[in-house]
Structure 1
């Protein structure tokens, strides 16, 4: 090899080595289950978090950062794929069927790893996805950056459980024996909650957990500094979704979606941020964008299969951020509790679409109701001791909700029916429909059907059924019309040969409540000729909620006919709903008449235990 070629190769090797060395390390410090509302850095009612605040002085505060889902596994599945959950069927909490990734889909750390990064996760995963082999170099409670090769850039996730919902499952004995640092007498209790001693204590107790969490954030930062890495590392601190006080985690309120986010960008990487240190921005950023942003910061090409758009890194300018002014949210099944809700926030305005408005927010969920505050809230409602705002959680929802969340941060005053808001409401309704159709949103099919037909290749399933899904969205949107206009169309779809057109026609009919009594004969006729068990359930819901019939025997038979655990879960959700809020009659379920495998499912057993109790 002659001298010139050798020098050329050495020079190129040096260039590649320098380029690798210049790739930033990236760290995510993630606190579980806390929205921005409990931290003074983001909210006047929050507590001081000096370590996060110190990171903010040297970084960027994102005042409008959002999870797209309000519960852990759905939120984390969005994060790890940088793709909307309803498009991938990854949006049901703790999915009974894990989604398979095909056709270029992968968890984004796999792309970092292929680009030479060391990837470590400590330690929570909780994805609704069959995990490929190439994602993490280490994912365990011992995972750290120290095991990488010398000079190798790393991506590291550190998860803090201190603020998780489970920490709020304290007992009355704890309340009587454990004094909080935060003063319960002066702590803020949001106005839709009862202003009781228990709610005050719960708020104080949780804020103490926020302070404890902040200490743990500081420990990670100190370790980076001790290892001489702080000035070479871009650090994200954020909460993994909202929560955990009642009606936050699991709900598309701001308390369920609006998260704290601070990003520290070292001086040597200032070219990767359009914003200076110590800056606050109102640019909207969502979890769907986080993975794409990390890839962009690392100089890794963003796969076209991702929905996310980067908000930091190469080619991101202040104009890019100024254009980011909206976020989308989704909620479906949380453990054994089903609902289907979508949201869009644009600027100060928030639009929420309840596809099954007869599903009451306060419906029993075993894990949620371990929290004493939930238990007391329900008891006070049953005793008639709550005001209008506090009672809303246990009552039928509006099909559409519309709020100015700056004026009304706890979404108490629904503006959807006011004439002066119709223009904005209709625009945001259209935006939401376009977003759902563009994915397309797979929730227009029940979860059990997706498990049987879609999770091996959800993208292909969505493309194949896009026109049908658009049609089902149109039928569901009959709910927003005046009943006189919607009724003849509903009656037509009740006779459709397409089982899912019939399914959504029955849901739409039920959404009108007592207005829809004139459809009773049509629904009864549809039920008498119905061959699909789940459609019989939807007809029974109508006959119970709208026609006020006692349907307990029919409900039991529908439970016995369930062929899968997720089908049974959806049916039992309706059984509990009707028992607790509508016909208020006990439903006797003989477990011996159920499919044995179905009856053995943990979440099915929770519903059965509650019904028996």
Structure 2
């Protein structure tokens, strides 16, 4: 037998044992790392993902997260516990398309003729202006949208990789960062279009007898039930939000993803959506910062602290915030400022105290209202104050509560606060929102607040002139020039817009100081100077009696139908003229459809405020678009306009 070399054997055994031990250590380390991956969600992803979760039409006060007695939303509340809650977040516009256009572009839609809901015609984007989806797509992000878009501009091809029902981030390439936007209509206004017979018969999760309604509303069973029904919709949307969050968790990307939950504007009990009060503009905003990208935000916002932010942010700030966090240097100059970033501290954010709001045509209902908020004070400018907020619009009045509210107004069953919604307005208003959150006490005539009034009035006036705000021009003018609208067009119109804004400011002066100016302007050869002089005169009501001879001439002979119609409104204040017959002649004088919508708004004001009857019929030019029209978006818009006209005629000819 061969003698075994023990020394070599021991060496061999030691080597084998060492290699085995090393292998075991490697396996154990791999196990620990894998385990850590499950627990901590560590990632090799270079750039963060972004998910925007959007509920429609809901003011933040309907949520328990913001106000006692609000809806229970455990998924959103969990996001908040691990993230940031913004106490002062606002849409800049109180209705969908204009709010979403602001989000998409980071510009005010009124700068580019996009401030109407919905637009008669979408506006081409100026050169160099891109929606955030396009910026993200071009930067290598996978972009998806499920599903609402509702923009007032002509959409560029391929700005979303996928925008459709069911779209999500799962169509991306491996390791590709994504931007996903998802909207739900679960809290949309139409959810409150239930028949009045439901009240007290169809149960809700929330007891209607426990509901507290705002003091601007009558405290009726219908209003309490409507609120209870709406809170229930919030619970439903919370479950839908939870499904998306769970999907992110299942895909292992939760800690790579900034999640922003917000409402697209306020709403949606009567007098909220479409109106520039806080109920129409204030939105919930909750942001969850992912662990793997906490370094992109200031240390104040790291660690999932459930922090409350008191600084003011608005939709104009969302685009620059998204692009900064994504590391995208956009050549497009956004108006807003990022509200998250490694150099933006909580103290700096809490010092932000200003926001701006705008509201123009909402379906068939015309108005022009602007607001600016600075700290606790809010200044509101009603450029067409003779139009009550409650001016009839079919879709609004499909709510049982809305109809009841107006019926009680007509029967004299409301107090002053509750009835003001259906009355003509003051040209300007100042509110102390800390002490008057429902904006019922106008301080504009209170000398104690003269400094705040002048400061905000001046600030807003300068802002509108500098943008400039194209909505100072009638919509029909913008639609006639829609192909030319860009920043150059806006600059060309700036002198005219500034002049028209100066005329509009006469509404804020005593009649004795403006009477002569108005008379001179009404004989100007500039049609839109005459238009704004008529708006000013009508806002003074019966004080404007000396204008009647000029108004009578304008109502018959002015080259612009809008001026003839506005002059007729002034005559109606004094019960002069055969208003219905004369209005019918004005309407028949041309076939500019969007101008017809505006003229019928004037007739609606005369009927609702003055009680003037009308005997009108549909014009041949108001027919439905051809069924085989190839441009589906244009067809849908023309169908909407047709429906507005049908509804207006039905209202004007009703008893």
- TM-score range for the pair, normalised by the shorter chain length: over 0.9
**1:308 aligns to 2:336 (yes or no):** yes
1:611 to partner: Cα distance: 1.9
Q: What CA deviation, in whole Å up to 9, does each residue of 1:222-272 have, x standing for no partner?
A: 111111111110000000101110100000010000000011012222222
- 2:262/2:284 contact within 8 Å kept: yes
For the residue of structure 2 that corresponds to 1:544, the secondary structure is helix
- Matched with 1:601 is 642
1:596 to partner: Cα distance: 5.6
1:550 to partner: Cα distance: 4.6
1:549 to partner: Cα distance: 4.8
- 1:380/1:386 contact within 8 Å kept: yes
1:323 to partner: Cα distance: 4.2
- 1:39/1:46 contact within 8 Å kept: yes
1:69-84 alignment runs, 5 A limit: 69-84=93-108
Could you tell me which of 607, 617, 629 is aligned with 1:590?
Answer: 617
- Matched with 1:500 is 528
1:433 to partner: Cα distance: 0.8
With 142-151 and 263-272 compared, the bigger mean Cα shift is at 263-272
- Matched with 2:290 is 266
Q: Distance in 2 between matches of 1:237 and 1:546?
A: 52
- 1:120/1:139 contact within 8 Å kept: yes
- 2:359/2:367 contact within 8 Å kept: yes
1:555 to partner: Cα distance: 1.1
1:347 to partner: Cα distance: 1.1
- 1:39/1:47 contact within 8 Å kept: yes
For the residue of structure 2 that corresponds to 1:21, the secondary structure is coil
Could you tell me which of 522, 532, 536 is aligned with 2:564?
Answer: 536
1:390 to partner: Cα distance: 0.8
1:529 to partner: Cα distance: 4.2
1:546 to partner: Cα distance: 5.1
For the residue of structure 1 that corresponds to 2:356, the secondary structure is strand
Q: 1:593 to 1:284 in 2, by over 3 A?
A: same
Q: After TM superposition, which residue ranges in structure 1, 4 or more long, deviate above 4 angstroms?
A: 546-550, 592-600
1:514 to partner: Cα distance: 1.3
- Over the aligned positions, Cα root-mean-square deviation in angstroms equals 1.9
Q: Distance in 1 between matches of 2:483 and 2:405?
A: 38
1:90 to partner: Cα distance: 1.4
For the residue of structure 2 that corresponds to 1:553, the secondary structure is helix
- Matched with 1:50 is 74
Could you tell me which of 370, 390, 410 is aligned with 2:398?
Answer: 370
For the residue of structure 2 that corresponds to 1:200, the secondary structure is helix
1:208 to partner: Cα distance: 0.9
Q: Distance in 2 between matches of 1:163 and 1:392?
A: 27
Q: 1:546 to 1:480 in 2, by over 3 A?
A: farther
- TM-score (normalizing by structure 2): 0.88
Number of equivalent positions: 595
Could you tell me which of 308, 323, 340 is aligned with 2:368?
Answer: 340
Q: Distance in 2 between matches of 1:593 and 1:337?
A: 22
- 2:371/2:378 contact within 8 Å kept: yes
**1:406 aligns to 2:434 (yes or no):** yes
1:404-443 alignment runs, 5 A limit: 404-443=432-471
- 2:557/2:564 contact within 8 Å kept: no
Could you tell me which of 515, 521, 532 is aligned with 1:487?
Answer: 515
Q: Distance in 2 between matches of 1:206 and 1:290?
A: 27
For the residue of structure 2 that corresponds to 1:124, the secondary structure is coil
1:320 to partner: Cα distance: 4.3
1:33-182 alignment runs, 5 A limit: 33-182=57-206
1:281-320 alignment runs, 5 A limit: 281-318=309-346, 320=348
Which blocks of at least 5 consecutive residues in structure 1 are unaligned?
Answer: 1-17
Q: 1:563 to 1:214 in 2, by over 3 A?
A: same
1:589 to partner: Cα distance: 1.2
Could you tell me which of 389, 393, 401 is aligned with 2:417?
Answer: 389
Q: Distance in 2 between matches of 1:455 and 1:77?
A: 18
With 136-145 and 298-307 compared, the bigger mean Cα shift is at 298-307
1:454-465 alignment runs, 5 A limit: 454-465=482-493
- 2:309/2:346 contact within 8 Å kept: no
Q: 1:592 to 1:27 in 2, by over 3 A?
A: closer
- 2:218/2:418 contact within 8 Å kept: yes
For the residue of structure 1 that corresponds to 2:171, the secondary structure is coil
Q: Distance in 2 between matches of 1:19 and 1:130?
A: 38
**1:25 aligns to 2:49 (yes or no):** yes
Could you tell me which of 218, 240, 254 is aligned with 2:264?
Answer: 240
For the residue of structure 2 that corresponds to 1:339, the secondary structure is coil
- 2:371/2:460 contact within 8 Å kept: yes
Q: 1:341 to 1:592 in 2, by over 3 A?
A: closer
Could you tell me which of 239, 247, 251 is aligned with 2:275?
Answer: 251
Q: Distance in 1 between matches of 2:539 and 2:222?
A: 35
For the residue of structure 1 that corresponds to 2:222, the secondary structure is helix
Q: Distance in 2 between matches of 1:337 and 1:455?
A: 25
- 2:622/2:645 contact within 8 Å kept: no
Q: Distance in 2 between matches of 1:530 and 1:549?
A: 16
1:403 to partner: Cα distance: 0.7
- 2:75/2:241 contact within 8 Å kept: yes
Q: Distance in 2 between matches of 1:211 and 1:155?
A: 26
With 224-233 and 548-557 compared, the bigger mean Cα shift is at 548-557
- 2:623/2:642 contact within 8 Å kept: no
Q: Distance in 2 between matches of 1:529 and 1:359?
A: 24
1:458 to partner: Cα distance: 3.3
1:563 to partner: Cα distance: 2.3
1:513 to partner: Cα distance: 1.0
1:527 to partner: Cα distance: 3.8
Q: What CA deviation, in whole Å up to 9, does each residue of 1:320-344 have, x standing for no partner?
A: 4244211111111111111110011
Q: What CA deviation, in whole Å up to 9, does each residue of 1:136-193 have, x standing for no partner?
A: 0000012001110000000001111110000000113433432111111111111110
Q: Distance in 2 between matches of 1:296 and 1:444?
A: 33
For the residue of structure 2 that corresponds to 1:64, the secondary structure is strand
Could you tell me which of 212, 223, 234 is aligned with 1:199?
Answer: 223
Could you tell me which of 603, 606, 627 is aligned with 1:575?
Answer: 603
1:553 to partner: Cα distance: 1.4
- Matched with 2:35 is none
Q: Distance in 2 between matches of 1:185 and 1:548?
A: 49
- Matched with 2:3 is none
- 1:51/1:217 contact within 8 Å kept: yes
